[in-house]
Amino acid sequence: MKRSLTIAAFALAFPAITFAQDSIRTEVTSTGYRNYDASYNRDGKRFNSWSISIGGGSPFMQSADLSSLKDNGENLFGYSAYFSINKAINHTVGLNLQYDRGEIRQGDFNTKNSGAGIANGLAGRTQYDAISLLADVNLSNLLRRVDKDNAFRWAWHVYGGSGTIRYRTYLKPAGGSQRLVTEVKPFKYESVFAQFGTGVKFKVSDALDLEARAMYVATGDDQFDGLTGNQKRNAGNSDNFFNTTLGLTFNLGNHGTHVMWHDPLQEIYYRIDVLEQRNSDVEVCKSGDADNDGICDDWDRQLDTPAGARVDGAGVALDVDMDGVIDLYDKCPTVPGPVENNGCPYETTVVVTEATRALEGIEFDLDSDRILPSNTAILNNAVSYINATSGNYRVVGGTDTRASDAYNQKLSERRANNVKNYLIQNGVTSGRLEAVGRGKRDLKYPECNPATKCPEWKNRANRRVYFEQK
């Protein structure tokens, strides 16, 4: 039984200690994050890592021959106290050297009573002192997601380890007196025990934590309750016990926060600061610039830009008038024109009069009735011309061929009304103007139906408002 207990305790503690050692090595060699520096020197340390804990509670045996709960209908509770020195190895794992002292009461009645009237009744109490080394795993930090808006004040811990226990057990028969029946000295093979359990901590302040803890203590000794040989009531029962405690942890040091309460976001912020202060050579254009347009191939969206062409930030050759001919080959780079005419519009004989210039109209963005700032000069010119002439005028709105007839009709009416209102606000008499929407029935370029048959500059020309004299 003792050999199995020793193996189990070692198996419980070893992975946690190994994990802690690996965590130190990983953090120091791969990131240099000062909080995990193995030396824990005063200059390199950012958080406190030492603390002490004290607490007390009530232990009880449940499945022993003499148990603490409901033996002969009576629940018996003892007392316990603990003191530990704690070392946090990193923000998830620590080691605690803990001393426990207490007394467990078990049996048919309390040893403080006579037990008279209880046939064949036995009462027992076991006084113990124990020293153990416990691994402390902070599951809240181990599993916690990064959340800068959530205050980190609760933490869930699990503990496990082994040590040596010294105990003395007294028995008292009903109507009789107490006598010492079992005594085990510490630091011997038969005194090896293991304990493991869980606890919930609440951060009162940077210096103080409150913790509720429940531990299961495996003594591995069938005589722990005081019954031996023929006295045993149930063969094979384990004399292990539970210990529930409430305690305080005092975090030591002058670095503010204890590492077990370390917010992972602080580590991220710290690493960003380190990177910002680090001077390092940056390799530009690792993949080269195959088309020599000044944009690295890593983010160049056009890897075969013709030599000499101006490009935008994504490495795409510029086409200012958006007529499908890049500026390098466009003979009229600021005026839209067909590809077959090198980007220039076909020449037509048009008599340009003062009225044509004044009433040429304006264009609109796709699915918009907003007058662009670039068009205010054209409209102001129209205001001057209309006020200088007689007669009435029709403000005609149009659209391209996208969307439905009904939608385009309403859009063209909104465009015409917006332009009419602008003219009125700038001095034209309202009675001289009529707003009319013609949807997509009055295209400047009728061949653009559907819109996909034409370059965008022609579709934009169809999205217009122009003027007609009545």
DSSP code per residue over 45-110 = --SB-EEEEEEEEEEEESSSSS-SSSBTTB----EEEEEEEEEESSSSEEEEEEEEEEEEEEESS-
Between residues 285 and 20, the one the model is more confident about? 285
Is the pLDDT confidence value at 37 over 70?
no
Note the pLDDT of residue 251.
94
Note the pLDDT of residue 150.
56
Note the pLDDT of residue 352.
37
Q: What is the pLDDT of residues 242-295, one digit of tens each?
A: 999 999 999 998 887 888 887 666 667 667 777 777 766 667 787 888 888 888
Split at pLDDT 50, 70, 90, the class of 122 is confident
Note the pLDDT of residue 145.
59
Residue 13 falls in which region: left (phi positive, over 0), alpha (psi -120 to 50) or beta: alpha
CA-closest candidate to residue 242, choices 200, 286, 202, 197: 197
Residue 310 inside a domain? The answer is no
Q: Beta strand pairing status for 50-61 and 362-363?
A: unpaired
Answer yes or no: do 237 and 376 share one domain.
no
3-state helix, strand, coil in the chain (%, to 5): 25, 30, 45
Residues whose CB falls within 8 Å of the CB of residue 390, separated by 6 or more in sequence, listed in order: none
pTM for this prediction: 0.50
Note the pLDDT of residue 64.
83
Answer yes or no: do 377 and 266 share one domain.
no
Q: Pick from 275, 303, 332: which residue ends a domain?
A: 275
Answer yes or no: do 231 and 358 share one domain.
no
Note the pLDDT of residue 359.
65
Residue 302 inside a domain? The answer is no
Answer yes or no: do 238 and 375 share one domain.
no
Between residues 85 and 254, the one the model is more confident about? 85
Answer yes or no: do 110 and 20 share one domain.
yes
Average confidence (pLDDT) over 396-414: 92
Residue pair 89/95 in contact by the 8 Å Cβ criterion: yes
Answer yes or no: do 247 and 373 share one domain.
no
Residues whose CB falls within 8 Å of the CB of residue 388, separated by 6 or more in sequence, listed in order: none
Note the pLDDT of residue 10.
43
Residue 306 inside a domain? The answer is no
Average pLDDT over the chain, rounded to whole? 81
Which of 21-25, 155-159, 314-318, 412-416 has the weakest average pLDDT? 21-25
Question: What's the CATH code of the domain at 417?
Answer: 3.30.1330.60
Is the pLDDT confidence value at 128 over 90?
yes
Answer yes or no: do 47 and 152 share one domain.
yes
CA-closest candidate to residue 43, choices 305, 300, 317, 255: 255
Residue 127 inside a domain? The answer is yes
Answer yes or no: do 53 and 191 share one domain.
yes
In angstroms, rounded to a whole number, what is the distance separating the alpha carbons of residues 201 and 216?
18
Residue 164 inside a domain? The answer is yes
The total domain count for the chain is 2
Note the pLDDT of residue 264.
65
Answer yes or no: do 236 and 381 share one domain.
no
Domain that holds residue 260: 2-275
**Structure tokens of 104?**
């467990």
Answer yes or no: do 61 and 182 share one domain.
yes
Q: Pick from 217, 245, 275: which residue ends a domain?
A: 275
In angstroms, rounded to a whole number, what is the distance separating the alpha carbons of residues 274 and 277?
5
Q: What is the pLDDT of residues 434-465, one digit of tens each?
A: 999 999 988 888 888 888 888 988 899 999 99
Answer yes or no: do 6 and 140 share one domain.
yes
In angstroms, rounded to a whole number, what is the distance separating the alpha carbons of residues 448 and 452?
7
CA-closest candidate to residue 19, choices 108, 104, 110, 91: 91
Note the pLDDT of residue 345.
83
Note the pLDDT of residue 67.
85
Three-state DSSP at 34 gives helix
Between residues 152 and 155, the one the model is more confident about? 155
Is the pLDDT confidence value at 39 over 70?
no
Which of 88-102, 331-345, 433-447 has the weakest average pLDDT? 331-345
Residue 317 inside a domain? The answer is no
Split at pLDDT 50, 70, 90, the class of 143 is confident
Phi, psi of 190, deg, nearest 5: -75, -5
Residue 297 inside a domain? The answer is no
Q: Pick from 223, 241, 275: which residue ends a domain?
A: 275
Between residues 195 and 297, the one the model is more confident about? 195
Question: What's the CATH code of the domain at 267?
Answer: 2.40.160.20
Residue 304 inside a domain? The answer is no
Answer yes or no: do 248 and 369 share one domain.
no
